[in-house]
Amino acid sequence: MQKQSVLILCTGNSARSQMAEGLLRDMAGDRFDVESAGTVKSFVRPQAIAAMAEIGVDISGHRSKCLDEFIETPFDYVITVCDNANESCPIFPGPAKRLHWPFEDPAAAVGSDEEILAVFRRVRDEIRSRLERFIESGS
């Protein structure tokens, strides 16, 4: 069985899309080839790396990628995880099915380090729950 290709898009490719990429690869890497990108290039947030490490998923080697790297690549699914990426997402070649899953931006969280990390954990768990449904249903 050929793997389906998935691109997960966000604004800065620093938190939500990075966590979603790591989670989908960990949960169903045998069924999906997954990439993530942002409408602008940024950096992978240390809180995203920490929140993922807590559940045994290592994204410390990930890098922030710009959407331009994938604009000519056909995908089976293009999933936007923030409203900004959804609004500015271009048309991709091939059969790409567009899905929009808006999640709160944990990078915008304020408070103590522990309070901010708690937001990353919550968003991570929301993404994981949505990905479980995606894997089970095929979309």
Q: Among all residues, which ones are annotated catalytic?
A: 10, 82, 89
Neighbours of 1 (CB within 10 A): 5
What's the chain's length in residues?
139
Residue 123, both tokens? 């968003």
Report whether 102 contacts 89 (CB < 8 A): no
Question: Which tokens belong to 19?
Answer: 């966590």
Indicate the helix (H) or strand (E) that contains 83.
Answer: helix 83-88
Place of tokens 């960990």: 26
Radius of gyration of the chain (CA): 14
